[in-house]
Amino acid sequence: MRSCTAIVTLAILAAASVGATGIAPRSAAAPRVHLWRVPDAGIQPQAVVDAAGAVHVLFFKGAPAGGDLYYAVRGPSAESFSAPLRVNSVPGSVLASGTVRGGQFALGAGGRVHVAWYGAKELAGPGKQRPVWHARLSADRTRFEPQGNVAAGSTGIDGATVAADPGGNVYVAWHAQGIKDGEAHRTVYVATSKDAGATFARAEPAPQASTGACGCCGLRALVDASGSVHILYRTATDGLYRNAAWLTLGTGPGKPVVLQPWKLDACPMSTFALTQAGPGLAAAWETEQQIYYARLDPAARTFSTPLRMDGPAGRKHPSIATGADGTTLVAWTEGTGWARGGTLAWQALDRGGSRLGAQTNAAPVPVWGLVAAVALQDGSFAILH
């Protein structure tokens, strides 16, 4: 496999042949979009809005090769975020370099926060295993409980993600080496907790994930309104393709749904975005340095024709949010790369996929930075950068 750090040049060369956008002209007024800086000058925000309208945010601070995760919350009528709580109990155990390996989080039973991340350092002992750490907010919401490794037995780990439901189930997923060396034998692994994250069963390969997973790309997991667990990830097949793929746990052995193929014999170091959108889901991902969006129908296992966001190539790391009226905001970074910052851009779409508004160069994105979009109760959106 070619070096992951060389992919920026490869992907930009491949981007010249990207197809038409499929986005209709502006059809109505653009929604209000607030640009919020990450609390405490942090980077790599992840954000979720709860049923009461509070915005929960996870972010990174410290040395990129080994820093810390922090959590804060902002009530629906508040002007700022709460004082941050450090998530990781082992200082410096979070990796920001590469952008794809930072923390992700989910709200579980009783609104409890669950965080998962790829370990910055190998564990002591034979095998030099990298951990996938999990930590949960304490019952009194004053601190995070000590982190624990949920990936014992996996090797060649990358791309940690987490999802949770109101019933106390928590799912931490990543991709790792299979029974043989090489990306063609990698697959998605899932560790499941049935007791709100107190304990996890030994991780198992997801039977719905075909072998072949891109070695340096992120995953995104979500439990939908019906309780089904969905994971977006990038496959690695035949040494030629890095397809955006969608799998749903519990559907029996089979293959994931390919959302979009990408002929590329190298790792693009890409990430995914996934959110609830009415009875279905909305997803965003990168193909050939462009950002694409689609609606997913979990019941039928089908999806809408992917829509490309307007503009030139050089785009990565999407985030997505959908409001109660069906309006969707897709945000992403432009010009970011290995050890290089860039800018924030966004595009708003109505329920049918017509463009409502867009903005480029909206705000700076720091080195190793991400953006995070959320839909607010008043119908507006916020993007943290």
Under 8 Å between Cβ of 380 and 32: yes
Bridge partners of 339?
A: none
Burial of 12 (0-12, 13-18, 19+ CB in 10 A): middle
Distance CA 272, CA 142 (A): 31
Tell me: pLDDT of 8 over 80. no
Task: Report in angstroms the alpha-carbon separations of 25 from 50, 249, 295, 304, 348.
Answer: 32, 37, 19, 18, 11
Candidate from 6-10, 143-147, 307-311 with smallest mean pLDDT? 6-10
User: What are 82's two structure tokens?
Assistant: 């709460």
Candidate from 36-40, 118-122, 127-131 with smallest mean pLDDT? 127-131
Tally the C-alpha atoms within 13 A of residue 236's C-alpha that lie toward its C-beta.
26
Under 8 Å between Cβ of 134 and 160: no
User: What are 96's two structure tokens?
Assistant: 């920001």
The model's pLDDT over 174-220, given as tens digits with 9 standing for 90+, comes to 999 887 888 888 999 999 999 999 999 999 999 888 788 998 999 99
> What value does the mean pLDDT take over residues 319-327?
97
Under 8 Å between Cβ of 11 and 2: no
- Give the pLDDT confidence score for residue 72 in this predicted structure: 98
- Give the pLDDT confidence score for residue 3 in this predicted structure: 43
Where are any strands of DSSP class E within 51-178? 55-63, 66-74, 85-86, 104-107, 113-118, 132-136, 148-149, 158-164, 170-176
Tell me: pLDDT of 21 over 60. no
Distance CA 260, CA 37 (A): 32
Q: What pTM did the predictor assign?
A: 0.92
**Nearest alpha carbon to residue 60 among 22, 17, 104:** 104
Distance CA 104, CA 115 (A): 6
- Give the pLDDT confidence score for residue 28 in this predicted structure: 64
Distance CA 303, CA 280 (A): 10
User: What are 241's two structure tokens?
Assistant: 């393709």
The mean pLDDT of the chain is: 91
Distance CA 106, CA 163 (A): 5
The model's pLDDT over 123-136, given as tens digits with 9 standing for 90+, comes to 987 767 899 999 99
Residue 303: pLDDT band (50, 70, 90) is very high
Task: Report in angstroms the alpha-carbon separations of 166 from 79, 87, 174, 195, 316.
Answer: 28, 21, 22, 11, 32
**Nearest alpha carbon to residue 348 among 317, 316, 320:** 320
Bridge partners of 259?
A: none
- Give the pLDDT confidence score for residue 325 in this predicted structure: 94
Tell me: pLDDT of 268 over 60. yes
Number of C-beta neighbours around residue 112 at 10 A: 18
Distance CA 326, CA 78 (A): 25
Residue 362: pLDDT band (50, 70, 90) is very high
Number of C-beta neighbours around residue 357 at 10 A: 17
Distance CA 31, CA 381 (A): 7
Tally the C-alpha atoms within 13 A of residue 171's C-alpha that lie toward its C-beta.
27
Query: How are beta strands 381-384 and 372-375 bridged, if at all?
Result: antiparallel
Under 8 Å between Cβ of 335 and 99: no
